[in-house]
C-alpha cells in the first residue's frame, strides 16, 4: 500500500484556505519528485483506491526540518514547500513538506509520532 504524507507547520498562523493551498502545492511537487525517483510508486498509488493522502502537523520549522532530514536519510523522495509570501506570511517561509507517494511500511515508522492536522 502506498501513501502520500504531507506535514504542515501549525505555528505560522495560516488560515485554513492558505494551508489548503500549501498542501496542494506539496502534493503536486512531491508527486513530481517521486516520478523522477521511482515512477512505479506513483503509478501504483494512482491505481489504488483513493490515492491515500495523510496530512499531519508540527509546531515549528525545526521540527519540520527534522522530519525532512529523517525522510532523506530513509532514501525517500521529499520536497519542501516555500511560500512566495505574497499573503499572510514572510517570503520564502517553509510551510510544509510533501513525501511520496511511498510504500506505507517505509514512511509510517518515520511519522508515527505525529498527529493529523
Give the distance, in angstroms, between the CA of residue 12 and the centroid of all CA atoms in the same chain: 16
Among 27-35, 59-67, 69-77, 102-110, the segment contacting a second copy (CB under 8 A) = 27-35
C-beta neighbour count of 77 within 10 angstroms:
22
Q: Which segment (33-41, 50-58, 64-72, 103-111) binds a second copy by CB under 8 A?
A: 50-58
Decide: is 21 part of the binding site for a second copy (CB under 8 A): yes
Per-residue contact track with a second copy, 52 to 81, x per CB under 8 A? -xxx-x------------------------
**First CA to last CA across the chain, in angstroms?**
22
Task: Count the site residues for a second copy by CB under 8 A.
Answer: 26
Residue 64 burial by Cβ neighbours in a 10 Å radius (0-12, 13-18, 19+): buried
Helix boundaries (H) for the chain:
16-37, 39-47, 61-73, 104-111
What does the binding site for a second copy look like in residue numbers (CB under 8 A)?
Answer: 4, 6, 8, 15-17, 19-21, 23-28, 31, 49-51, 53-55, 57, 84, 116-117
Amino acid at each position: 500500500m502506498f501513501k502520500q504524507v504531507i506535514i504542515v507547520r501549525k505555528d505560522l498562523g495560516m488560515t485554513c484556505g492558505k494551508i489548503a493551498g500549501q498542501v496542494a502545492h506539496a502534493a503536486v511537487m512531491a508527486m513530481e519528485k517521486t516520478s523522477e525517483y521511482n515512477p512505479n510508486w506513483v503509478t501504483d498509488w494512482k491505481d489504488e483506491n483513493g490515492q491515500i493522502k495523510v496530512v499531519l502537523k508540527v509546531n515549528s520549522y525545526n521540527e519540520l526540518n527534522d522530519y525532512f532530514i529523517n525522510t532523506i536519510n530513509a532514501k525517500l523522495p521529499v520536497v519542501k514547500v516555500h511560500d512566495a509570501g505574497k499573503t499572510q506570511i514572510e517570503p520564502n517561509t517553509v510551510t510544509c513538506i510533501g513525501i511520496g507517494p511511498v510504500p506505507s511500511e517505509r514512511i509510517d515508522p518515520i511519522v508515527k509520532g505525529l498527529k493529523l492536522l
